[in-house]
Structure 1
Amino acid sequence: MRKQSTIAALMFAAISCMMVANPGMPSKKKDKKAQVDSTAVAVGDSVFVDSLGNEIISTETDTTQMDSLQKAIWKHNKVVDDSIRLDSINRKKSGGIDAPVQYQADDSLVYDAHHKVAHLYGNSNVKYENMDLTSDRISMDLDKSNVRASGTKDSMAEGGIKGKPVFKMGNDTYDTDTIKFNFKSKKALINNVYTEQQDGFLTGMKSKRDSSGVVYLQHGRYTTCDDPHPDFYISLSRAKVRPGKDVIFGPAYLVVCDVPMPLGIPYGFFPFTKSYSSGFIMPTYGDESDRGFYLRDGGYYFAISDKWDLKLLGEIYTKGSWGLSAASNYRKRYKYSGSFYFSYQDTQTGDKGMPDFTKHESFKVQWSHRQDSKANPFSSLSASVNFATSSYERNNLNSLYNPQTMTQSTRTSSVSWSTTFSSIGMSLSSTANLSQNMRDSSIAMTLPDLNISISRFYPFRRKKMVGDEKWYEKIAMSYTGHISNSINTKEDKLMHSSLIKDWRNGWQHQIPVSASFTLFKYLNVNPSFNFTDRMYTNKVEKSWDATAQKEVCDTTYGFHNVYNWNMSIGLSTKLYGFWIPNRKLFGNRIDRIRHVITPTVSFSYAPDFGASHYGYWDTYQKTDADGNVSLVSYSPYQNALYGVPGKGKSGNISFTLGNNLEMKWRDKNDSLKKVSLIDAFDVSMSYNTAAKVRPWSDMNINLRLKWWKNYTFNMNAVFATYAYEMDENGNVYVGNHTEWGKGRFGRFQGMSQNFSFTLNPEKLKKLFGGGSDEDDKDKNKRKDDDDEGMDTDIESNVDDSMEKGKTGAKKSGGGKAKTDSDGYMAFKMPWSLTFGYGVTMREDTRREKFNEKSMRYPYKFTQNLNMSGNVRISDGWNISFSSGYDFDNHKLSMTTASLARDLHCFNMSCSVVLAPYTSYNFTFRCNAATLTDALKYDKRSGYSNAVQWY
């Protein structure tokens, strides 16, 4: 039988009484009849309260529809004096409960009229305001406004108790053994409470909850392990829990695998709030051989707002070294997001006053900024800054165990901004670039680099087209402007450089004019004219000081304009050829082969800008110490930012012959398929009509073969046109006679190729034809790795997750686990192995290697081999490694290995660097973010004595 009632605030009269009214009982509501649709509790026989808390005055009571329990309650309430009942009706609610109490039970409801206690059995539930209590057994003392809940002993249930109370109050949930709650005071007494607070779980043998929701625990435990029998916990003698905020505890100690650790904590707290909050960051400690004992990464976190924060950290060493760092993250939804980091280190090694004492000051700046595309479709700002002094990474402990950081020879930084004016087709973009060479501390900086461009437009095209398009309407123009200011210097001289004398700046304009016509329907003609103008602020005039025997430079500042132009015209067409093979010899599988030839001839012309009237080139007379006189040619703008036009007139005729070979064939279903036999085979050369010496260029050949869908073979080969010759001193030089003239093909200059291949279980099965029919069906359902070039690690993870889902579904459904063809349980260990091989073929131009008979240098090969792999032994184990071999130096390249183990609520990782230096790093820490900095253990090799360079 299922009973359901609602208790109202008018329950507490001078003499408390209760009656359970049957649903559907007739009643009147203040001059208006109303039908009671739910079970209600009455005061006497005249006042009822429905589920909405409305008073219902009844003039008559029908007892024929009541059961024995309801009649007993009604008879008890009948003897109550009317005046007392009327007085209780007029009494304010402040003396009783402020809201209805709803309850229900699956098995039975028993009312003890003598003690005025209602007992609910079987999956019972009581609700009051935002309180929700569920248990197998619940008792309600109406006079005292108390409710008590407990489970029922059951040997078949987990822990021997079934239906343990679950108490919910707002957003907080408590699993308990027994609980007693007061409706008025909203206080609770709980035994063996269990509650989850963000990443942690709290239990307590005895606990109290006050009216504000604060829970006081005695003999409690705190852990981030979600297992019923946790791997570790912090045993708390006493604790105060503010739900959603924090837990503050007194004396506590750590317990791992039920073994108490000899580590006591007199006082502590854990924050639970999900919102931003400020607080201290505990430092880590350790010992470093050169700098002594240290405290690192300790400081304070400022939760300024939900849009940005700030973290200040410091480090200090007993031998005098110290450092400061600041990190900030910011984000504005649909606008921008980014992060900023700054670190300063004052590193001192050795003892003061001793020869081995050194002191270095270094810093690092990182800034990343990204603008949301929704913020402004016409303007954007992005930044990727990574600047550090050359000594920073050498003095940073974290960098020692990061091979990528330690071996990084260059760093690049850039900040870019762009905007577009779509109405006129103009766009502006500006960047600030910085490139560092960490080996020699050189810096190449550009600040700013501004580009102005106007997209292609047709100045002679009519706004309203009428009739055919005229030839001049096909003429198109565009504009590109480039303003730049750059410097190449050392990092210690950057801040002391002069903007006028040390920086190079200029403004370049480029105006290309082009058109496209068709002659005789098949011949494409493309004329073009390009104009380039440069504006500089200085020029350098040179002369020779015969006395000092050195070149003298004189820099003058002012406006200097340098321009050049060139023009070209190109003609191209396509020729198609088809070959249908003999059916008797080749059958019907090959339908036809198509050969496409694309010949291109172009002519370009540029005048001689080295002529004296341009003023771009000049000469000075040099007299050496022996009295020899010579003329030295130079350009006053040769060190300028955009260079200077070259000397000499040019008139190049270029030839390009492109080839493409495709075949159509029929498969087993008689469907036509197309395959590329030669994707591209291009041959190109040029002839300079204005050159008096060596007018022919080298011949370039480009071959592209599409071997399979995710790999294309590319080869770019250069064949030198002119042969080697020897002078009277036996020196080898490139002569004026062609290889063709000597009856030889052009001299092969060399090539380079890189090959990579990834092997995984799926590819291995495919290579050896393994795998069951079910596996083949699964492969057909998903895209093949070879065809789509999917990442093997991702595919392995996905497949493994799918496999777990299938196996878990079978087990949960009562079926058998997946087995192989021999009946054994299927075992899968995802792994991947990637090989990379690069080879470069070049001429060995050492004089002793020259062959005077063949007049050729021999070829030398440069090879490198890289290998990386990943093995996931189980869900918790992951092993990865990377290495390589340098064939030139005959030694291993950077070799690293790492091992990661997921220990449920802890994570263990170990990384080792084996070559070219040795180091290790072992970390054991808690997975939960709340304890990740509190419960951890780090062990690293020493900073200097454990690192062996070779």
Structure 2
Amino acid sequence: MRQLHEFSSKFFFIAILTVASLFIVTSNASAQRLPGRVFTRPLTTDTIPPRINNGNTNRVIANPTRDTIPPGDSSRLLNDSLRGQKVDTFSLKLSKDTLDAPVNYYAEDSAVVFIHVKKILLYGKTKTEYQDITLTAPQVEIDQQTQVLTAYNKKDSLGYVLEEAQFKQAENFFTSDTIRYNFKTQKGLTVNTITQQGEMYVHGKTIKKVDDRVTFVKEGLFTTCNLDQPHFAFKANRLKVINQKLAVSGPAHPEFEGVPVPIYLPFGFFPLSQGRRSGLLPPTFATNEQFGLGLEGLGYYKVMNDYWDVKVYGSVYSYGGWLANVNPTYRKRYRYSGAFNFGLQRTKMNFKGDPDYFKNKSYTLTWNHSSDSRARPGTSFSASVNASSTSYNRFVPNSPQLNYQSLLGSSITYSKTWADKPYNLTVSANHSQNNLTRLVNLSLPDVNFAVSTLYPFERKEAAGAKRWYEQIGIGYNGSLRNQIAFYDTAFKLRNVIDTLQWGARHSIPVTLSLPPILNGAVVVSPSLSYSQVWINQTFRRKWNPITEKLDSTITEGFFVDHQASMGLSFSTAIFGTYQFKKSRIYAIRHVIRPSLSLNYQPDLSRKHFYTTQVDTTGYTARFSEFEGALFTGFSEGRYGGLNLQVDNNLEMKMRPKKIDPSDSTEVEEPKKIRLVDGYGFSMNYNFFADSMKLSTVQLYFRTNLFDKINITANAVLDPYQTDDRGRDIDKFAWSGGKFRPGRISSGNIAMSTSFQSKPKDEAKEQQKQQQNKNLGNDPLLIADQQRLLDYMRQNPAEFVDFNIPWSISLSYSLNFREQFKPDYSGFETILTSSANFNGSFNLTPKWNFSVNGYFDFDTKKLQTFQMSISRDMHCWQMSINVTPVSPYRYFNFTISPKSGILQDLKINRSRSYFVGY
């Protein structure tokens, strides 16, 4: 037994040793056969790198001789266990239900995770983000199995909402009591939701989000009021909203303050998109005493393409009158923009057979065009055309501003400048008409060509200081005009052509720049010029002893008149300062700027003047045969005179207020105050005149007191005595021992001021002013916007600014002239004066009262008086405008939404009538 046991132990030990040797040899041989590229391939693309025992690796590399196994590639030994193992996570198969992006969530209070049901609860100002979706709410529940997120609001013990759940995706934003959203399908369901689409707000008891564009609303409200309980809305049981495009509903009705109005619409269509869209233009109902009941503004707006659109609209009245307008607009960014309007008007006032029955047809034409200077540098084209029948504006209903407009004007201008050349060309066509006299003037074309000053004697390669003759400059100015005039009541083409007049003027100025003299105190400027005019006809008067009247004769042809002049002027400035020592006034400075010039002009026009008898007493007078020409001829006689002009201004410098010596703040600089902006006189003396060599003296004064009161005054001083008929004689007013400088023959004084309180929100006021400035300077502003902007500026009472609590503006004008009495007993002074006033007052934060008027002191009557009462009704506005005193009496009541998208949803009642001047 013992031998058997020993044999068995020996056999077992040999077997173990053999197996171990075979395993080691086999492993070593296997390692020798592994390719090296497997161990040198980088694994940096793996998002989860394999773990490697760096400690063991270091030991193997540091002590290779201690290994009983023949050494091989240590890297092969270390990486053998990784052979064939895929570690790149992108090669893993993902579930089809996996989201496209991670969901990031945050909770200020706490987060509770239920692992067994895969749910997460977030508490306290939570925020969840997924792609472009952001959701904030007091409490959120995330179900990872269904990928559904549910958000809840927070209420107090009384049921009032303390914090709402808010959802934002791209431009879409809404608040809700409960939000349920599926991340995978991107569908959602909300309860008691308010969402904004442009200017509109959509309220819904239940809202279902189908995709990122379409939403269905149950029991919805559609409004422009931004309150949770809107002042007004359109209510419908079902709504379909396409984001930023439109909203469509079934039967709908309006309600105010939650009270339904029994006016039902079969369906609702509400545009939500910004920009231009074709569609009908709804009319407004109006009443007018002369025209009857009417529908105004009914028409259609059509967007033709990205560059132009057209609006066709009109108005009809119960007495038979109507208006029709075609208004296309066009624009191309960085090139040009403009608008055109053509209107026809048929006026019928009262009924046929009535004594005040009236019927009339008229038209209007307007065109505005402007080009961008960046399109063609050096070239510009602009147009401002406003032409119409002389009776058109008078019969535009409910428009007192147009009814008053009696003067119209138009201008079309093309200008060209050449780069690096001194040339400038302007070609224009102009139009003017007087609706009272019915006279129309057309000037086309008018051509102006100018050459900037050239220096012909200047050296091309100058060395050293310029010589005096190099400062001689020559320029050129030329003008050509053509004009026709006619009365629109007697328009015939042949008669119009007979009124054609044309003329031209050429002027060549020569200048010389000289250095100042007397140590730079006096500036000397010599000058020389030659002018010439071309005239197409002469006009002469001749006394007819038979009819005892003046007969006139017009002779057509080509006539030329010349003028040459030369002069030498001296100008300087004299400063005087008076300083104060014991006063806050630091100093007062008086600046005198005299200018003296000597001029000579030869008589080159005597042959174009004639003398004729003008009345039965044999009194004669001299006239120019170029009287009434487009470019009148030059004056008769030589002129060699002295011109004197003196300008003054006064300034004051104030010391800063005294401060505590211990105060470390910087001391303010002395403040400059302009006391008088300017005052002075100008006059001239003609040495070659045979009588009355001294001209009248022009006096002027201007100042702006305290930067609030603007005062200007002008007067004419006549230095001569008069005969018994009030005509000047060759005797000075101070002759005969009289101490009298002369007689003030005419003058005027104008004063204006304005005051306003500080705005409630100064940042808002600055933003508004900058916005209006930008709109006024925007060359791409379409015609309708420009007309609305102009109307707002002309009628501020209808656009009340509640940010300014009150504002007042006053202006006064006084004109006077001396006139000889009819009985020749002496002079009498004719005075005309008037005052304008304008005021706006916020009676309460929501009520505003404004007035404006015009008072004539001659008639001692209030010529025009307008009142306006406005009420800010949050999302609505109300205004009452009354003109009780005016040739055109006017009354208007308007209540309308503030939002532009519902601008036609308004109540407008107007009445106007003409009472005469």
User: TM bucket by the smaller chain?
Assistant: 0.7 to 0.9
Q: Which residue of 2 aligns with 1:399?
A: 399
Q: Which residue of 2 aligns with 1:237?
A: 237
Contact 1:662 / 1:674 at 8 angstroms: preserved in 2? Answer: yes
Q: Which residue of 1 aligns with 2:417?
A: 420
Judging changes above 3 Å, is the alpha-carbon distance between structure 1 residues 98 and 149 closer, same or farther for their aligned structure 2 residues? Answer: closer
Contact 1:328 / 1:340 at 8 angstroms: preserved in 2? Answer: yes
SS in 2 for 1:205: strand
Q: Which residue of 1 aligns with 2:842?
A: 872
Q: Which residue of 1 aligns with 2:695?
A: 697
The residue correspondences of 1:606-621 to structure 2 (distance < 5 A) are 606-611=602-607, 616-617=608-609
Contact 2:592 / 2:646 at 8 angstroms: preserved in 1? Answer: no
The residue correspondences of 1:562-641 to structure 2 (distance < 5 A) are 562-572=560-570, 574=572, 596=592, 598=594, 600-611=596-607, 616-617=608-609, 637-641=626-630
SS in 2 for 1:263: coil
Whole-Å separation in 1 of the counterparts to 2:752 and 2:806: 17
Judging changes above 3 Å, is the alpha-carbon distance between structure 1 residues 288 and 623 closer, same or farther for their aligned structure 2 residues? Answer: closer
Contact 1:101 / 1:126 at 8 angstroms: preserved in 2? Answer: no
Q: Gaps spanning 5+ residues in structure 1: where?
A: 1-28, 38-48, 58-88, 760-791, 804-826, 852-856
Judging changes above 3 Å, is the alpha-carbon distance between structure 1 residues 515 and 495 closer, same or farther for their aligned structure 2 residues? Answer: farther
Larger radius of gyration: 2
Q: Which residue of 2 aligns with 1:35?
A: 48
Offset, 1:887: 0.9
Deviation track 1:68-96 (CA, whole Å, cap 9, x = no partner) reads xxxxxxxxxxxxxxxxxxxxx599x4xx5
Q: Which residue of 1 aligns with 2:484?
A: 487
Judging changes above 3 Å, is the alpha-carbon distance between structure 1 residues 644 and 98 closer, same or farther for their aligned structure 2 residues? Answer: same
Q: Which residue of 2 aligns with 1:929?
A: 900
SS in 2 for 1:796: coil
Whole-Å separation in 2 of the counterparts to 1:920 and 1:848: 49
Offset, 1:694: 2.8
Contact 1:137 / 1:152 at 8 angstroms: preserved in 2? Answer: no
SS in 2 for 1:397: coil
Q: Which residue of 2 aligns with 1:686?
A: 684
Offset, 1:320: 2.3
Whole-Å separation in 2 of the counterparts to 1:506 and 1:685: 31
Contact 1:30 / 1:56 at 8 angstroms: preserved in 2? Answer: no
Q: Which residue of 1 aligns with 2:636?
A: 647
Higher relative contact order (CA 8 A, sep 6+): 2
Contact 2:147 / 2:183 at 8 angstroms: preserved in 1? Answer: yes
Offset, 1:196: 1.5
Judging changes above 3 Å, is the alpha-carbon distance between structure 1 residues 273 and 920 closer, same or farther for their aligned structure 2 residues? Answer: same
Offset, 1:225: 0.9
Q: Gaps spanning 5+ residues in structure 2: where?
A: 1-41, 51-85, 659-666, 767-801
SS in 2 for 1:265: coil
Whole-Å separation in 1 of the counterparts to 2:574 and 2:115: 103
Judging changes above 3 Å, is the alpha-carbon distance between structure 1 residues 901 and 337 closer, same or farther for their aligned structure 2 residues? Answer: farther
Shifted more, 151-160 versus 741-750: the winner is 151-160
Whole-Å separation in 2 of the counterparts to 1:141 and 1:663: 80
Q: Does 1:833 align with 2:808?
A: yes
Q: Which residue of 2 aligns with 1:820?
A: none
Deviation track 1:849-898 (CA, whole Å, cap 9, x = no partner) reads 734xxxxx243433222222121344433322112321101101321122
Q: Which residue of 2 aligns with 1:43?
A: none
Whole-Å separation in 2 of the counterparts to 1:511 and 1:224: 66
Shifted more, 230-239 versus 487-496: the winner is 487-496
Whole-Å separation in 1 of the counterparts to 2:614 and 2:685: 38
Q: Which residue of 1 aligns with 2:876?
A: 906
Whole-Å separation in 2 of the counterparts to 1:579 and 1:623: 58
Judging changes above 3 Å, is the alpha-carbon distance between structure 1 residues 701 and 182 closer, same or farther for their aligned structure 2 residues? Answer: closer
Say what the alpha-carbon RMSD is for the aligned residues.
Answer: 4.3
The residue correspondences of 1:85-484 to structure 2 (distance < 5 A) are 93=96, 96=97, 99-100=100-101, 102=103, 104=105, 106=107, 107-109=110-112, 111=114, 118=119, 120-122=121-123, 136-138=139-141, 140=143, 142=145, 145=146, 147=148, 149-151=150-152, 154-156=155-157, 159=160, 164=165, 166-181=166-181, 186-211=186-211, 213-352=213-352, 356-400=356-400, 404-484=401-481
Whole-Å separation in 2 of the counterparts to 1:872 and 1:177: 39
TM-score normalized by the length of structure 2: 0.75
Deviation track 1:390-433 (CA, whole Å, cap 9, x = no partner) reads 32223222413xxx433333233323332222422111223333
Deviation track 1:580-613 (CA, whole Å, cap 9, x = no partner) reads 7999xx99988797675736252322214223xx
Deviation track 1:685-711 (CA, whole Å, cap 9, x = no partner) reads 433333333333223334556755565
Offset, 1:227: 0.6
Judging changes above 3 Å, is the alpha-carbon distance between structure 1 residues 599 and 739 closer, same or farther for their aligned structure 2 residues? Answer: same
Offset, 1:565: 1.7
Whole-Å separation in 2 of the counterparts to 1:334 and 1:156: 61
Deviation track 1:638-669 (CA, whole Å, cap 9, x = no partner) reads 33311223333333343445666778897888
Contact 2:893 / 2:909 at 8 angstroms: preserved in 1? Answer: yes
Contact 1:97 / 1:183 at 8 angstroms: preserved in 2? Answer: no
Whole-Å separation in 1 of the counterparts to 2:186 and 2:461: 82
Q: Could you tell me which amino acid in structure 2 is paired with residue 291 of structure 1?
A: F
The residue correspondences of 1:654-693 to structure 2 (distance < 5 A) are 654-656=643-645, 682-693=680-691
Q: Which residue of 1 aligns with 2:7?
A: none
Judging changes above 3 Å, is the alpha-carbon distance between structure 1 residues 126 and 890 closer, same or farther for their aligned structure 2 residues? Answer: closer
Contact 2:649 / 2:678 at 8 angstroms: preserved in 1? Answer: yes
Contact 2:291 / 2:321 at 8 angstroms: preserved in 1? Answer: yes
Whole-Å separation in 2 of the counterparts to 1:322 and 1:406: 17
Judging changes above 3 Å, is the alpha-carbon distance between structure 1 residues 588 and 838 closer, same or farther for their aligned structure 2 residues? Answer: closer
Q: 1:722 aligns with which of 720, 723, 730?
A: 720
Deviation track 1:736-761 (CA, whole Å, cap 9, x = no partner) reads 333222333212223211122334xx
Q: Could you tell me which amino acid in structure 1 is paired with residue 266 of structure 2?
A: P
Judging changes above 3 Å, is the alpha-carbon distance between structure 1 residues 901 and 328 closer, same or farther for their aligned structure 2 residues? Answer: farther
SS in 2 for 1:394: helix
Q: Which residue of 2 aligns with 1:842?
A: 817
Whole-Å separation in 2 of the counterparts to 1:179 and 1:601: 87
Offset, 1:272: 0.6
Whole-Å separation in 1 of the counterparts to 2:151 and 2:646: 91
Contact 2:599 / 2:639 at 8 angstroms: preserved in 1? Answer: no
Shifted more, 366-375 versus 232-241: the winner is 366-375
Q: Could you tell me which amino acid in structure 2 is paired with residue 437 of structure 1?
A: N
Judging changes above 3 Å, is the alpha-carbon distance between structure 1 residues 590 and 280 closer, same or farther for their aligned structure 2 residues? Answer: closer
Whole-Å separation in 2 of the counterparts to 1:756 and 1:378: 41
Equivalent residues, number: 787
Whole-Å separation in 1 of the counterparts to 2:219 and 2:657: 77
Judging changes above 3 Å, is the alpha-carbon distance between structure 1 residues 796 and 630 closer, same or farther for their aligned structure 2 residues? Answer: closer
Whole-Å separation in 2 of the counterparts to 1:356 and 1:685: 57
Contact 1:191 / 1:205 at 8 angstroms: preserved in 2? Answer: yes
Percent of residue pairs identical: 27
Contact 2:709 / 2:751 at 8 angstroms: preserved in 1? Answer: no
Contact 1:120 / 1:138 at 8 angstroms: preserved in 2? Answer: yes
Contact 2:219 / 2:236 at 8 angstroms: preserved in 1? Answer: yes
Judging changes above 3 Å, is the alpha-carbon distance between structure 1 residues 499 and 797 closer, same or farther for their aligned structure 2 residues? Answer: farther
Q: Could you tell me which amino acid in structure 2 is paired with residue 99 of structure 1?
A: D
Q: Which residue of 1 aligns with 2:33?
A: none
Q: Which residue of 1 aligns with 2:533?
A: 534
Shifted more, 481-490 versus 872-881: the winner is 872-881
Judging changes above 3 Å, is the alpha-carbon distance between structure 1 residues 898 and 122 closer, same or farther for their aligned structure 2 residues? Answer: same
Whole-Å separation in 2 of the counterparts to 1:877 and 1:265: 33
Deviation track 1:474-503 (CA, whole Å, cap 9, x = no partner) reads 322211011112233324456736674222
Contact 1:148 / 1:178 at 8 angstroms: preserved in 2? Answer: no
Contact 1:796 / 1:831 at 8 angstroms: preserved in 2? Answer: no
TM-score normalized by the length of structure 1: 0.73
Whole-Å separation in 2 of the counterparts to 1:596 and 1:191: 80
Whole-Å separation in 2 of the counterparts to 1:567 and 1:253: 82
Contact 2:523 / 2:572 at 8 angstroms: preserved in 1? Answer: no
Whole-Å separation in 2 of the counterparts to 1:869 and 1:148: 58
